[in-house]
Chains A and B, each alone.
Chain A
Amino acid sequence: MNVIEVEHLRKEFKSYSSRSGLKGAFRDLFTRNYKTIQAVDDISFSVKKGEMVGYIGENGAGKSTTIKMLTGILTPSAGKVLVNGMNPHKEREKFVRTIGVVFGQRSQLWWDIAVQESFRLLKKVYQVSDQDYNEHMNHVIKTLDIEPLLDKPVRKLSLGQRMRCELAAALIHNPPLLFLDEPTIGLDVLVKLKIRQFLKEINEKYQTTILLTTHDLSDIEALCERVIMLDEGKIIYDGSLEHLRNEWGEGKQIEFQFGNEVEKERLFQITHDINVHWTKGERGNVWIAQLTNPESEMSELISRVVAAEKIIDLSIQEISTEEIIRNIYEKGEATK
């Protein structure tokens, strides 16, 4: 069953550009230059129940706009959106009962009152019974460790404390679908870990579907099996993170620091029958070997180099997801 179905979704914004100078400002009073911006440009995807999907892209790629259309805040310019079997902006009030949303950059708790008052209001708003609330929320509160924060006004909480409360607030009605828009922005490692662990747990326990946008790829690595990558309003990759790594990760790299000067020809000569690509490092006497098939050729490569030349240091590095993603953005598209 598909929880989210999106077909040919578009959102365009009209924005006006100001003319320069005083004369331009006067002209702007009467007529304005309008420019249509395609924030989301013909995207289609679907998400199954229980999936955790990472939705990534650079700033301004259209991530937040998509989330806002999926949550019924914005009306799409064209295309079809079906979330939890409903059209989000048409049946907004009924629809939003079935989702939970956390916006990392804005608070949805009431600023001036204690956290528990916000919870109490949300409990009424979502019409959660006392029994369900106690059963579900006691667990949430314990796992997120926010018990001591409940009687403090939100404005007195630190960012990490607040974000844990926000997450709890989004889960009061135990929604089957959770949208997280940069939930870990600005948080320290410990809080991040706690939040990730918690998300994993509710995903396992309730089969909660989670759509997550973030700039922190370690979030995605820790949580999501599938990523959707967005660039300038278009989807450039939709598939498993595993596949992305295999396809674009291009093996491992080994950095050798040699005891004396080594010629490029010499290295080629030693490793002529191994599928390796040598590049000169930034420091002196450092060479980096990019290995495509590390499983079969790693030990062969190292033993040959070590036997032939004197080395001082050696390190093996994984090509990071961050690097992979950067590569993809530089090239502009990815294979499916």
Chain B
Amino acid sequence: MGKYIEMIRIRFLMMLAYRTNYYTGILIYSINIGAYYFLWSAIYGGKENIQGLSISQMITYVAVSWMARAFYFNNIDREIAMEIKEGKVAVELIRPYHYLGMKTMQALGEGIFRLVFFSLPGMVIVSFIFPLQFSTDVSTWGFFALSILFSFIINTQINLMTGMLTFFLFNVDGLMRSKRVLIDLFSGLLLPISFYPLWAQELMKWFPFQAISYLPSMIFTEGFKGQEVVEAILLQALWAVILIIPIQIMWSLAKKKMVIQGG
């Protein structure tokens, strides 16, 4: 376990090595939240609520979704793809650890870094500018924390799979870009799932995407109540377990198929 914790620490150091990325990151996230604030204010246009969400719930939803995204979002799919393409995966395989486990830990290091140095301060700043509605219920915060942990796990699992596709397809840049848009859209980051037409909502129940953003944000804004919260978290847990299966299959296939590119 020590080595995995050490990896989180190393990732912290690496993030600190490229600080400017994060200053610009804060700016971009604030602009996004601002843009959605004005967009949604225009859409609500005086209406009390749409699809059961009030305007301040909606703004909180948007702010929280973006801040949660800073935590669960990571680039390990791109990193894995690059390491495979450049043959660096060879170096990873001579180390006594599980490659995917270590990648997940790196992602977690990145996630914690952003949560502490980016999301939390960002949230404080945003709450001064926009009328956000925070719950005072401790259990809501607790459930939310648990929920974004699952968001991280599910999103990372999807990233692992996308990255590993490089073993089979050799170049997955286009796929990774479309995956990112797909997740932003279907996870409920851009639009809460309850705003989608019924058939689309029905369809999305069969995909893990809404477990990434929609469920935790709904928990935080108290759009879900009581039993619904527990069900949402159970659904996330279920996805986290199910996704282990394709990852294991892909990994064992990849090891057999592996070609170290570039000598």
Contact = CB atoms under 8 A, between A and B. Distances in A.
Contact of A125 (B3, B255, B258): B3
A73 B258 contact: yes
Contacts of B94: 71-73, 96, 99, 101, 108
B258 A105 contact: no
A18 B7 CA distance: 42
Contacts of A106: 86-88, 90-91
A18 B90 CA distance: 27
A30 B42 CA distance: 50
A113 B258 contact: no
> Which of B10, B86, B94 lies at the interface centre, i.e. has the most chain A CB atoms within 10 A of its CB?
B94
Interface in B86-103: 86-88, 90-91, 93-98
Contacts of A89: 255
Contacts of A101: 94
A107 B88 CA distance: 8
Nearest to A153: B17
A110 B88 CA distance: 11
A145 interface: no
Interface string A186-223: 00000000000000000000000000000000000000
A73 B2 contact: no
A93 B17 contact: no
Contacts of B3: 121, 124-125, 127
Interface string A1-45: 000000000000100000000000000000000000000000000
Interface string B1-28: 0110011001001100110000000000
A244 B91 CA distance: 34
B46 interface: no
A94 interface: yes
Interface residues of A, number: 32
A110 B14 contact: yes
Contacts of A99: 94
Count class of interface residues, chain B: 20 to 34
B97 to A, nearest CB: 6
B113 to A, nearest CB: 14
A117 B13 contact: yes
B259 interface: yes
Contacts of A13: 259
B256 interface: yes
Contacts of A68: 90, 260
A125 B97 contact: yes
A96 B95 CA distance: 6
B95 A125 contact: yes
B6 A112 contact: no
Among A94, A125, A126, A153, the most chain B Cβ lie within 10 Å of the Cβ of A125
Interface of A: 13, 64, 68, 71-75, 89, 92-94, 96-97, 99, 101, 103, 105-108, 110, 112-113, 117, 120-121, 124-127, 153
Given A93-B97, A125-B96, 15 more contacts: A71-B94, A73-B93, A92-B93, A96-B94, A105-B263, A106-B86, A106-B88, A106-B90, A107-B91, A108-B94, A113-B14, A113-B17, A117-B10, A124-B6, A125-B3
